[in-house]
Structure 1
Amino acid sequence: MLSFLLIPIMLLSMLGIAPATTNAATDLGLTVDAAILIDADSGKILYEQNAGTSLGIASMTKMMTEYLLLDAIKAGTVTWEQQYNVTPYTYKVSQNRLLSNVPLREDGTYSIKELYEAMAIYSANAATIAIAETIAGTEKEFLKLMNKKAEELGLENYKFVNSSGLNNSDLLGEHPEGTGANDENVMPARSVAKLAYHLLKDHPEMLETAKIEKKVFREGTSDAILMSNWNFMLPGLVYKYEGVDGLKTGTTDFAGHSFTGTAKRGDTRLIAVVMKAVDSKGVGSYKARFDATAKLFDYGFGQFTKHEIIPANYVFEKQKTIPVIKGKEDTVNIAVKEPISVMVNTNEKDLYVPKLALDTDELEADVKAGKVVGKVVVERTEGTDYGYIDGSSITADVVTTESVERAGKVSLFFQGIGSFFGNLWSGIFGFIGGTV
């Protein structure tokens, strides 16, 4: 009777200590056409959904225009104080208040700083075109710079037809030469995330403007207009989310309600992209895109932590040394030089293991301590690993941990004799073994 009572207790106990399944597909319940979540520090992809399909990006395009402007500011070819004279093209576009715009005066001049803030905070479209004209002369020429930068960054399956992200039909027949009258910019979520990743890496100062919730354009003048940030996840706005401080929304009929957001908590910064978000009834809305983004951030901050997978001075049990020829010692000890930490799901950290890749099978003395002899990479043993947004992997050098001096002439002489007779006996026994 006691045995029968113990059996179910033992089974329950075993179930209680069994590890959770780690290779099941993650479903966050996102009602979007595409999504991706990455660690902004390393570029590690934490989640993706249809992230390779090219979709409309609308005003998320402005991240590329912002990138090129900040490049130009850094290079000194454009300054914040530089004045822009309104062209007939930017004037006409700016008068359409059905679009996001700050109205520009037909004979007005505006500083690049003013135009940049209007673009980054209020997604002002004519102000964006003005920046493109300042940098390249015309929007057509600016498209060449956009494509060049996209190629440099390794973006894939993208198409730029204007600097703002509007549908070309909204540009009043002034769309760049060589593009279609109804064309719109497209890009996969993975490329959008890569653009945001490099923008933050190269120009982190952009967050100082991106996080401004409200600002008055031309305050104190008759042209004053309140600019409210379209990123409603900022601290003081309706869908506030802890840690959000950028980047860019995008909304057109073609692209739907899309958003590239970034948030930081502690030492962790995440980048999330959602494209064409809808609610449970299939209707797109601002709320739908911010709800989807919140789910991604909740998943990232709640489930992922940076773990040290390989400590410094890690030694491989099956390869503690490599042979040394002509040395006072026959082998030299090797170890991993620097630690490797990876952003991983806490429940899955044991699935990541080190793999050794040596550059050579042996070394010739004189061998110095710290000599690089190979690399160690981290691989996942099962389940899906999405890799890194730039296609790289985290590696560390494997080095010698001691020096091995070259043997003296007498020692080398006897090593030569030993090697000769060793090879000789090996040949003899090989011959005998082959004739048995």
Structure 2
Amino acid sequence: MVASHTVRTRSEIWKGFPSIARREIGTVGTSTFQSQSTSALMLLLLSVLVIEVTGSAASAPLVIAAGALPALLLVRWVRSVNRLLDHRWVMILSDTGAFAVALALFLLSQADIQAWQIYCGVALFSGFGAFYLPAMRGWVADQSGDITQLTWLNSMLAVATQASVVVGWALGGVLASTVGISFALGLCAIAYACGIVLQFVVFVVVNRTPLRRAAAPAAGPGEERRSSAKEVPETAMRKEGGAWRMVFSPRRLGLFTGSLLAMELSHVLAFSMFVPLVTQASADRSWVAGLANACFALAAIGSGVLVSGGSLGNWVRSHTPGVLIAGFAVQTVFGLSASQTVLAVALYTLVGVLSGGDTVLQSEVQDRWRSVGSSQAFAVFGAVSGPSQLVGSLVIAFLLLHFSITAVYVGTIMILGFGSALLLVVARAKSINPVEEVIP
């Protein structure tokens, strides 16, 4: 159940942030756009490249599999680094590692690059990315005092991410079909270098961000932070088994975590098949994948703005399972119609329109994770999500050897996507604490 005591407009939510926080939001939004657009470009390029190298559509899901293990292997380091260092410094260092990987892949692509080199590059790229997401989500939680601000901020960052997808995928589709993948990988390295310089100037030179992490800011004047998750002292949390048990135990937050995990896993695994599904394993049709994903992103931008606040945002928070089911139903039809270019693009655009439910689900789960700490919760969540993606990708690769890509894609959406919505229904039914808003 979602309890709503007041409706705040998007402008009122924005004005509710302190002035310093508003400057930080603009900075992180810009860096998110740069980093995610380059990541989207690299993902498309490497997916197309590995298909060209191996000649098999089954190799595309292995790109996801190669990047799945680092989150588990590095979980202790990720949690420790995010405890010690400021989240913005972690994001800068993560992008620095991504730049090194992009540069190495560019140099390797100048010669006869092998599939194992691509997979190793993806694993290293994912290793640096394992530090980025917990830092980003920890920063988000530090800036927001309630689920309304949290949903607004997640929605705005989702808008920046989807805008970056428009740039990354549209540009990637054109570059792969024209100037070539090798040249495009060089552009990725340059983009990361520019982003690192920008972040360093804004975060370190202008904002004077300290290297070590500062204490989380308190709630603003006149505001009382009320969350669905009760604050649990760190010593008590350790007695109960720490962050792992708090996040994954069905008696605590496990059902909400399971819903988020199933939702993200469905998107990751389905997306690993997106390129070969839409392009029919032909590099000449990479523009179709770029166009479809760009249209999805544009629609998702509008959806993110709409669900960020106001009456519609409250309604979506109350009906999140239904919105999720509608989105996955449309995505199922898309999978069945992917060979028809115009219809596929139209359906994938509609999926983007309904994607606001994903952001709302993430915000609700993250709000309930406050008792653990967002960066810590996302670190242990990533440690499970990574191996889940690995196992799922290997299963997908195996199934693609025996079944059509359409059947595997649709089956993935129906099992994981609809399962995510059902888990959320059960989690809300068992929860004794509704999601509450802050009343200024």
Q: What interval of TM-score do these two structures reach, taking the shorter chain for normalisation?
A: under 0.3
- Normalising by the residue count of structure 2, what TM-score does the alignment of the two structures yield? 0.22
Which structure dedicates a bigger proportion of its chain to strand? 1
Which structure exhibits the higher relative contact order, with contacts defined as CA atoms closer than 8 Å and separated by 6 or more residues? 2
Q: Which structure has greater helix proportion? A: 2
TM-score, normalised to structure 1's length? 0.22
